[in-house]
Structures are given as C-alpha cells and as structure tokens.
Structure 1
Amino acid sequence: MSFFYLTAVKGEIPAHLLETIALERLCYLKEVFNMKELCYSEYLVEGGMYDNVGHFLLCVITIICKNIEFKRFIMKTERDLFEQRLNALCVYDLRCFAKKIIRSIKKQQYTAEFIEPLKTLCEHLMLQDLANHVCLESHKRNCNDHHIQLHFKHCLLFVAKREIDLKNGTAFIPCGKWKQFLIILFSINLSYKLEKSNVEALEFDPRISDLLNKLKSHIDPLLSNNHNNNYLLNSKRVDKESKNFPPCMLNIHEKLRKQHRLPHTERFYYTLFLKDIGMPVDQAIDFWRFEYRQAPNGIHSCCHNWEKNEKKFVYGIRHMYGLEGCRRNYTSMNCQRIQSFDSSCTSGGCPFKTFDHTKMLSILNMDSNESLWSQLYELKSRHNYTGACIKYMQSRNLVVIKNCDIDNASFNFTPVKYYKHVSLKTHDVI
C-alpha cells in the first residue's frame, strides 16, 4: 500500500480498534499541525494497513461531520504529513513509492483527471537515474535538467503563476517541481475523495455514529463555532499561510515582517484577521511578541517595543478576543469598511483603491502586460474594488464561485472569506 491513498484496504477490523486508529491519527495530525516532533506510532507506519485505514476513516468522518473548518484541518494536515513523508524518502523508497502507485492504477479503473499526470510522473520517478537526481541534497527547486510533458489543464496552478513553460497547449514541468507537483496531486486526490465519495450507507451506521460521538471532544476545538478557537492557526505557520491572504492583508503582513512594526490601526485590523482565520489568543501573543522584540527597521510611526509595553500589548490582544474589558468579541472588517477609510493612506487599506500602479503590480505579483491586469484596472476605474479583488482571487488562485456577479460584487465580502475560498478552493456563493 502507498501513503498516496488511492485505494482503501479491504478486510474486517473490530469496532474498538477502529476507534483507536481514528483517535491516534487525529492526535497525530494535531502534532503535525502544531509542528511538533512526531513520535513513532504503530498506527501511522507510512503505507501500513492501520495508516491506510486511519486515513480513509477520517475522510469518512469528515464527510459525515459536514463542518468546513474540520475539513480544512484534515486537508491541510494530511497534505503536510504527505509532504514530510515525501521529502524524507531516499532513492530506493521513492522508486518503491512510485511503483506502488503505478500498480494501483493498473489494477483499478479510475476516472479522475489527476490519474493521468500522476501516472506519467510516477513512470519517471521509477527510473533509477531520475530518482537519484531528484533525491540529491543539492537538487534545487529551480532545476530544469529533466522535464515531463503534460496537457496544460493538468497543472493549472503552475500555469497561473507562470512557473512552467507552455508550447501549443503542452506544459513542460521541470524536475525541480516534481515533488511539489506530487503534493498538489495528493491534495487533488484528497479533495476528490471528500467531495465525490458516497458514504450514505455509513451515515446512519450506529458504529460510525458512536465513533463520531467519541471523537467529538477532539474535533470540537477545531470547529469555527467554538469560543475563540476557530481553526487553530499556529503563529509559526503565518508566513506559509500568507500565500493565501488577500492583497490587503498580504501587504500588511509583508510590511510587518520587513519593519517589525505597524501603526495602531493596521495592527488592529491584522490581529482581528488572524483571529478570524483561526489564530488562538496564545498564538497571537506569541506572534506579536516575536515581532515587537526585534529592533524596528526603516521608517515607521510605532515607537513601542515588547519589553516596555508587554502588559499593554497582552491586554490589547486579549481585549480583541473578548477576554478583557467589556468582553466584546470583535470581528475583522469587511471590504466595504476597509475601503471607506482615507484613500490617501497608501501603507494599508484596500490596494485596489489606494495603491498606485507600481505598488499594486508589486503586491499582486503581476506584469502590466498580463490580460488580467487590464481587467482589474477596468474594475478599479469603475470603483468596483471588491469586484477587482474577487476577479483576482478567481483568476490567480483558480477559485470557481457559483453565481458570482463581478459587476455587482457583494459588499459582504471580507478578507476572511477571500482566505477561506483560496485555501480550500471552495465553490460556495459569496
């Protein structure tokens, strides 16, 4: 069996053992999320029977649970676990991994579109010379010594970011991106299972219902309707997650990382944004402590530092989480509110409204010759800043949103909604 999890293991397992397997895997995924050192577990030996059962069992629980935040947790942590395992493979193990996937594909009749590129990639990774090359410590992500050729539709994420070469509809994926491509295909496979699997027969199975009830105390802290916990975002993961931030929050994040200081208003907005995408109060304190203990860099208006103002900082953060003062549980701003602020302020606010062309192209990581830029500029000139942001989100991040009218974009759209759409590639109506 492969830890790519194309097929579920067959057989019979006692209900009490299923409970143990599911609980062990859930706790293990929490450790993965919190970036703690992973300990050996007989239930998570990669590619083992219990590992396979645990993966598919949590997929079933996720589908039945029907909670978007728990789904996000499973998708992110399973992906991170796969990435860790993949990067730890030696040449021999990588070839065995690829061979197992090829054997599984040959045994089954798959209809999912990701199977074709997966098969092509694994056929290359099976080869001794290519596996040796990819596993070299000196192998870099920009290496292009070898390529695989696929139809461009199979690697749209690379195409959208202009990270690969295209010729007559054929994409050339360099070897430096093969592992990254495997991780993308794993995420697609997992998303496909969570979206397409039919578990109606299990939904009312008393054994599954009993298991879900027993796991509830472990799942509840991950759900968005729990007090201040939302989806637990570790302070150390913010840089990694920032690739999914809307331009307004990405701009503030990059400014903070560069200067280690923010004006009060921007610090207030950004703290609430991090809170609403799942950062607990203790992680928020750790996050701001790390920044404000560093010496400020460049021109800034904030004169605070953590050592002198720790009590004030901690109180302010806890106040925003509803734990101090009037105990009001603040929520982050929507796009309409952000756009209503003084447009002369170019250090924060909505980039589609306040930034000049040069700064806007920089934060959007775009070239002025791109067709998307002309579309965004047209929406900006019509003062449809929210529509421009949604258009950018859809085009740059391959998010498809049903019944979305760009010209009459909802002012209920928020930076938090942007983040959730991008991080999950959701198809919900705005």
Structure 2
Amino acid sequence: MSFFYFFPAKGDIPVHLLETIVLNRLNYLRSLFENQHLPYNEYTIEGSVYDNVGHFISCILAILDGSSDFSNFLIRAEEALFKHRLAQLTAYDLRCLSKKILKGLKKLNVDLQLLDPLYLLCRKLMVQSVAHHITTICDDKCFLHKIEINFKYCLKLVAKREVVLNNGLASIHCCQWRKLMVMTFAELLKHRIYGTHGTLIKNDPRINQLFQTIKKKFNHFQYNENINILKSHQVDSKSKFFPPCMLNLHQHLRMRHRLSHNERFYYSLFLKDIGMPIEESVKFWKLEYCQEPRDTCVCCHNWNKDEKKYLYGIRHLYGLEGGRKTYWAKGCQFIQNSDNSYSEGGCPFKCFDVEKMQQVLSLDKEDSMFQTICNLKEQKKYTMACKLYLNHKFPNCDSSYSFSPVKYYSQARNQKCLDCHK
C-alpha cells in the first residue's frame, strides 16, 4: 500500500506508455473529483507500478505547467483519491499501511518536520486494538485516543476550532486521525510540487514532448486566458480575497480616495501581480484621484492637475518607462519590516493595535480564533497569524511555501472556485 508515494519506481518505460498512464490517471482523478462513477482503471490500482509512475509524472507536469490552476486541481484530486482509498481499509490493512509508512519514513533522506505527526499517528495505529477501534467503533464524536502535535501542523483544524490548544500543542483525538492523515498527505504533495526545482526536468526534451502531448489531450490544461484578468470595476468584489494588509489599503483608499506615496506604490504592485493590466490600472486610479480627498490626507494631488505624473508612475511600475525595470509586489517580511509610523499601511498583525486589527479582520473579540491570533501577535509570529486567518476564512487553502500577499489572494480565490466547482 503505497499511499504516500515516498519513492518513485525505478526502471525504464517507453514514452508512449507514459502518455497512456498519465492520461488514464488524470481522467480517473477528474471523475473522482467531480463525483462521477469510477470505472475500473488498471493504471490506478493501488501500489502498482503504473499507479506510482502516474503519480510522479503528474507531479512533474504540474511543475512544468507552473500554473496554480492545474496544481490545485491535482492536489485536490489526489487528496480525494487518498480519502477514497483510506475509507476502504480494514483494521488489518490500516496496521499494514502504518507499518509500511514507518519503514518509508526511516528510509527518507530528507528532514521534513511536517511528517512528524504522521510518525506519531502510525505508532498508535500499529496497536491492534487501536486500529480495530478506528475502523469499526470510532465516530465523529469519539475521544478515546489522542496524540499531541505542534499546532502549526494542523492549522486547518485550528482554524475550524476542532482542536484544543495547550502551550502550542494541539490535542488530536481519534475521530480526527483520518483528517490528519489526509492533511499530511496533501502537505507532502504540495512540498513535492512547490519545493522541487524543475531546471533539469525542463531541459529534458522527452518530458517536454510528453507535457505538450498531455496538454493537448487533457482539457484541464485548457484555461481561459482571461480568467486571471482583474478589471477595475471588479476590485470591490474581489477584495474579499485580499490579505488583511491589502484589504486595509483598499478600504482606506475607498474611504479617503488617497493613499500615501509608498502605500500607493505597494498597492499598485499588488493589483498588477494579481492580474490587473495597465489600462485597467489607469482606470482604477483615475476614478479615485479625480475625487476630492476626504478628512486629513497626506496626499493633496489631483488626477486632473497631475495626470501626466500619475500616468508616468503607473507605466513605470509596469516596466514601460524609465529604466524599464520589472517590479514585483512586496512580500510579508518587507511589509512587516517597513516603517509605517506615518502611513496608513503595514502588516495588521504587527503594526496595528488590537482594536484596529479587529476591525480589519472583522472578528469578534470573544472569538477564540481572534484570541489565538492575538497570542501569535504577542509572540511576534505575524506570518503564522496571517496563515491561520486565511485557513479560517477559506478552509483547505495552501498557506505554505513562499507565503505572500499575492499567494494569499491566489489561494483564497482558487479555493472559492474549487468549492463552487464541486
């Protein structure tokens, strides 16, 4: 039972057979993901060479494709397959799986702390009485057995208030062990896709040819080229997917029709990187800066008077003026380390007091989630607090690997689209 695909199969295989294996696997995953009838498929038999090869080649295709759409589909579909298989296990099967996982963990040459909970869990499941309990008696409200793990390995359960926290340790009861195993599988798969450098793979003509062939035949690769374009009139509706730092700037801009220079620069780059083309950016900023500023505002410029200056600034951000340099949206560390003493921006988890942070997050003070976030703020774990908030608003999001405001938006939007699709 090679549930976790710790190691790829060894040996030689014809390229034309690889194409058949991958196409059959992707079509099977699509049927599973869309809750369709699952016909017999010899290429997805658990533990077979075809199953192993299909999994790893699909991951390679996700790395080559580079788009979050296909990666998200593959992660969610593989997760669904894992759940489907896990639900079929008897007590004996579960013990055998745990034994194989423990052996696989010992052979792994990489130090992945995200696998620590899996090790603890499998040690428990090796006990015959425990495995029998999980597969027969245990239900959604059973608390007979438990393990304790670092809360950062189960943020989704924390966000849903399904665990009890004590000094940074989360108590995971037996009714949640299947969820924990599925979450660990998904995290390992994300690490495999997002944490792999694809330089050598991209230079292999055989893999590139296979990628182009699969891309033509499997329609999940056929994306609408306008799906990620952000129109100026859509910003308000899409702001529900904004990270708190950018949502705060958006709300401030709508309220006062102005932002200070640096904050306008950061917000413009964020909008650019989440899909706003230059012509829409001009429309967006013109609409705001044609209006009179409200309240006390550090910026007294007006579009009608300073149109050339604003147009040059926007074109410069898009690499069309000056040194034609490519600018990217700022990351979490930069925003957290910026001096925001005299501006309206900054990371809410670091720079805002509790009252103002509560307003931006729209959480009740008595909410346990808000209390957990406040504790992380006191511990100066600002990025961790933002990840927790993302999983609270949009469960099942991938909040790891190069976390940033743009990544926050991408994950929140894609998660919403996947939920609507299902």
Tell me the TM-score range normalised by the shorter chain. 0.5 to 0.7
For 1:15 and 1:193, the matched residues in 2 are separated by 22
Residue 418 (structure 1) aligned with residue 416 (structure 2):
no
For 1:219 and 1:229, the matched residues in 2 are separated by 20
Residue 106 (structure 1) aligned with residue 97 (structure 2):
no
Letter in 1 for 2:23: L
Letter in 2 for 1:182: M
Which residue number corresponds to residue 368 of structure 1? Answer: 366
Q: 1:173 to 1:370 in 2, by over 3 A?
A: closer
Which residue number corresponds to residue 167 of structure 1? Answer: 166
Which residue number corresponds to residue 393 of structure 1? Answer: 390
Q: 1:75 to 1:402 in 2, by over 3 A?
A: closer
| Contact 2:134–2:174 (8 Å) recurs in 1 | yes
Q: 1:169 to 1:60 in 2, by over 3 A?
A: same
For 1:367 and 1:109, the matched residues in 2 are separated by 45
Q: 1:153 to 1:19 in 2, by over 3 A?
A: same
Please show how residues 76-115 of structure 1 align to structure 2 within 5 Å: 76-115=76-115
Please show how residues 348-359 of structure 1 align to structure 2 within 5 Å: none
Could you state the TM-score of these two structures normalised by the residue count of structure 2?
0.58
Deviations 1:92-141 (A, max 9, x none): 111111111111111122212211111111111121111100101x4212
For 1:14 and 1:228, the matched residues in 2 are separated by 36
Which residue number corresponds to residue 147 of structure 1? Answer: 146
Local SS of the residue matching 1:155: helix
**5+ unaligned residues in a row in structure 2: which ranges?**
230-238, 242-283, 288-357, 375-385
Local SS of the residue matching 1:141: coil
Q: 1:221 to 1:165 in 2, by over 3 A?
A: closer
Higher relative contact order (CA 8 A, sep 6+): 2
Deviation at 1:246, TM superposition (A): 5.7
Residue 51 (structure 1) aligned with residue 48 (structure 2):
no
| Contact 1:148–1:174 (8 Å) recurs in 2 | yes
For 2:152 and 2:42, the matched residues in 1 are separated by 39
Deviations 1:325-381 (A, max 9, x none): xxxxxxxxx9xx9xxxxxxxxxxxxxxxxxxxxxx99xx8967344738999xxxxx
| Contact 2:146–2:173 (8 Å) recurs in 1 | yes
| Contact 2:148–2:169 (8 Å) recurs in 1 | yes
For 1:72 and 1:171, the matched residues in 2 are separated by 27
Residue 41 (structure 1) aligned with residue 41 (structure 2):
yes
Between 157-166 and 113-122, report the one with greater CA deviation: 157-166
Which residue number corresponds to residue 117 of structure 2? Answer: 117
Larger radius of gyration: 2
Deviation at 1:42, TM superposition (A): 1.7
| Contact 1:141–1:177 (8 Å) recurs in 2 | yes
For 2:106 and 2:414, the matched residues in 1 are separated by 36
| Contact 2:159–2:391 (8 Å) recurs in 1 | no
Root-mean-square deviation over aligned CA pairs: 3.8
Deviation at 1:217, TM superposition (A): 2.2
Deviations 1:143-170 (A, max 9, x none): 1110012222322222233211222332
Between 81-90 and 395-404, report the one with greater CA deviation: 395-404
Q: 1:127 to 1:395 in 2, by over 3 A?
A: same
Could you state the TM-score of these two structures normalised by the residue count of structure 1?
0.57
Deviation at 1:28, TM superposition (A): 0.8
- Indicate the percent of aligned positions where both proteins have the same amino acid: 34
Q: 1:74 to 1:103 in 2, by over 3 A?
A: same
Please show how residues 250-399 of structure 1 align to structure 2 within 5 Å: 368-370=366-368, 372=370, 392-393=389-390, 399=399
For 2:159 and 2:201, the matched residues in 1 are separated by 39
Local SS of the residue matching 1:114: helix
Q: 1:229 to 1:46 in 2, by over 3 A?
A: farther
Letter in 2 for 1:172: S
Q: 1:89 to 1:374 in 2, by over 3 A?
A: closer
Deviation at 1:38, TM superposition (A): 1.2
Letter in 2 for 1:193: R
Q: 1:195 to 1:371 in 2, by over 3 A?
A: closer
Deviation at 1:419, TM superposition (A): 2.8
**5+ unaligned residues in a row in structure 1: which ranges?**
231-244, 248-333, 338-359, 377-388, 405-409, 425-430
| Contact 2:156–2:392 (8 Å) recurs in 1 | no
Local SS of the residue matching 1:172: strand
For 1:423 and 1:125, the matched residues in 2 are separated by 36
For 1:166 and 1:222, the matched residues in 2 are separated by 41
For 1:168 and 1:41, the matched residues in 2 are separated by 47
| Contact 1:69–1:223 (8 Å) recurs in 2 | no
Local SS of the residue matching 1:71: helix
| Contact 2:62–2:70 (8 Å) recurs in 1 | yes
For 1:417 and 1:107, the matched residues in 2 are separated by 33
